[in-house]
Amino acid sequence: METKQFKAESKRLLDMMIHSIYSNREIFLRELISNASDAIDKIYYKALTDDSLSFDKDSYYIKIEANKDSRTLTISDTGIGMTKEDLENNLGTIAKSGSLAFKKETELKDGYDIIGQFGVGFYAAFMVADEVTVISKALGSDEAYKWQSTGAEGYTIEPCEKETVGTEITLKIKENTEDESYDEYLEEYRLKGIIKKYSDFIRYPIKMNVSVQKPKKDKEDEFEEVLEEQTINSMVPIWKKNKKELTDEDYENFYKEKRYGFDKPLKHIHINVDGAVRYNAILFIPENMPFDYYTKEYEKGLELYSNGVLIMEKCADLLPDYFSFVKGMVDSEDLSLNISREMLQQDRQLKLIAKNINKKIASQLKSLIKDDRDKYEAFYKSFGRQLKYGVYSEFGTHKDVLQDLLMFYSSTEKKNVTLKEYISRMPEDQKYIYYAAGESNERIEKLPQTEVVADKGYEILYFTDDVDEFAIRMLQKYDDKEFKSVSSSDLGFEAEENEKDTETESKENKDLFDYMKDVLQGKVKNVKVSKRLKSHPVCLSTEGEVSIEMEKVLNQMPDNQNIKADKVLEINVHHEVFNSLKEAFENDKDKLSLYTNLLYNQALLIEGLPINDPVEFTNDICKIMV
């Protein structure tokens, strides 16, 4: 019997298949089951146009049998089978796709489709097998043939006996090595796990003999282990069912079965698209953040299927980073089963699916704000920070998608509000969206800088996340209204007479403020009359792009570059403390220096900034007490 050689390019492709495209060995079973499903599909298609054929779906199945003694694993099907020529063409030339050719020749009907590229997927078997034997009898043929190969060296084809139409593939499983255990591919529990993981939604039964405990006859208290043929796969994927037939409980059970999370999802999104690209998707918005969400171990991505066959557990390209919390799956009829991660990144259909999914998630989150505020609040508590990162990242590329999803605590509503809600309440004379940044709502509430804005009746948004100000600086404005910090040097609403008074007071006390600035030795950019303080004697404001809260965040980073905000010490000239400053300036410069340092450190404490020398600060307090 002559051994036939693979073509040179086929040898190279085989080597690449085993070592590059498929790094996860267990998918060999997925490939062979998919091919078996294709073979049954082909009979279905033949029956559509051939009156002599009938297609009784219950008569078609795939069988998995493992034999530990002979170290063989057999995958058999009742599909269309292959002639000698089919074996030569489909298995003799890698990447020659019998399924693809059949698909082009046959009109698709009733939801059946041919997914595999037989020649490529079949060779995944050599990742776990030393030898592969294929026995096949084609529909309408009286002869059967055996194809056999030990890998890249070549293959043989010879006549053989087979009673029924279909294909039987037997793998001689490799012996274990120091690095790899191949025994697992002969274990019942492992085979069941692989089938459930990758092929649960194949539309034909995948049968397997399973060990079960059953009571002995006439001895109810004693059990014996027997083999029982069971169907391992569920066959009908939830995403192919009519939405009207499904309940919330069905979706929640699917969420748990797929182990997307241990929580109960806040929202499910069921998508069916039959347009330029055909796909189904079920997406879940979880309530709780995974414990590893902000670690490098966390992997974003959706499960990606091709016609019910899992081809990637975490397809990161389907989700943008700012929606990385979304769980779920996508099943497309337009993706090849045999496709690498690198190919997917360039796939036009995949990019279109990702774009549509992104829009759908954003739309559903907006609906939650409007229709189920409590659920959105729960979601935002877990993942609001991620949305803000999305606004800030990539130079604000995604801010238009995310701006309506942002929420901040409101000084007047005493709860989280959206920017749209804030704008709707703005008085006509209000020019800006005002915000204050701090470590907590309680601390912000007590900031001296908030007094004058609150007295005007203006709502203030409280920023307590470290990313808040960075995101807002990137956003710049919302509905043509710019954002303005209550610590900004220009609040945008001072009356003209106040401006004149402030200008006069600044001129009259210029020498005093210059002296105080010199005492602080570069710690502040300026000392000036405050236009915002009412009951407090002092506060810090900033000039330039870096705020005090941003300074805190930047200096906590690993590559700390000691970035400082341009601070301004503002003095309330209507506070009684100011009289003490003026008197000390005229009569006791040492006392003025003491007062200046005390006020500066007081302003630092109000902002939550560390005092440079706590011992000196406590000594200064003692000095004014004696």
**CA 305 from centre of chain:** 17
Q: Print burial letters for 558-588: b (CB count within 10 Å at least 16), e (below 16).
A: eeeeeebbbbbbbbbbebebbeebeebbeee
198, 329 contact by CB (below 8 A)? no
CB atoms near residue 621 (< 10 Å): 12
Give the pLDDT of residue 111: 46
Q: Which residues pair with 306 in a beta bridge?
A: 309, 332
Helix (H) or strand (E) holding 474: helix 468-475
| Encoded amino acid at 522, one letter | G
The encoded tokens of residue 509 equal 């006390």
Q: Which residues pair with 171 in a beta bridge?
A: 73, 132
User: What is the strand order of the sheet 309-315 is part of?
Assistant: 267-274, 278-285, 327-332, 302-306, 309-315
Question: At residue 96, does pLDDT exceed 80?
Answer: no
The pTM of this model reads 0.74
What are the pLDDT digits (tens) for 264-279? Answer: 899 999 999 988 889 9
What are the pLDDT digits (tens) for 422-447? Answer: 999 999 989 999 999 999 999 999 99
Distances (CA, A) of 529 to 448, 455, 506: 14, 19, 6
Instruction: Calculate mean pLDDT across residues 304-314.
Output: 85
Question: At residue 407, does pLDDT exceed 80?
Answer: yes
Q: Which residues pair with 541 in a beta bridge?
A: 568
- Poorest-pLDDT segment among 54-68, 69-83, 215-229: 215-229
Q: What DSSP assignment string belongs to 491-518? A: -S---HHHHHHHHHHHHHTHHHHHHHHH
| Average per-residue pLDDT for the chain | 87
Q: Give the span between the Cα atoms of 378 and 288, in whole angstroms.
A: 8
Give the pLDDT of residue 346: 61
- Poorest-pLDDT segment among 52-61, 100-109, 544-553, 585-594: 100-109
Instruction: Calculate mean pLDDT across residues 522-547.
Output: 90
Question: At residue 335, does pLDDT exceed 90?
Answer: no
Question: At residue 498, does pLDDT exceed 90?
Answer: no
Distances (CA, A) of 430 to 425, 453, 543: 10, 10, 22
Closest CA to 82 of 63, 108, 101, 59: 101
Question: At residue 115, does pLDDT exceed 60?
Answer: no
Give the pLDDT of residue 52: 81
Distances (CA, A) of 242 to 65, 110, 274, 310, 427: 34, 15, 14, 21, 49
First to last CA, the chain: 112
Q: Give the span between the Cα atoms of 25 and 41, in whole angstroms.
A: 26
Q: Which residues pair with 72 in a beta bridge?
A: 67, 172
Residue 170 is given by DSSP the state E
Any idea which residue has 């709707």 for tokens?
424
Q: Give the span between the Cα atoms of 545 and 481, in whole angstroms.
A: 18
233, 206 contact by CB (below 8 A)? yes
Give the pLDDT of residue 454: 92
Q: Strand, coil or helix: what is 306?
A: strand
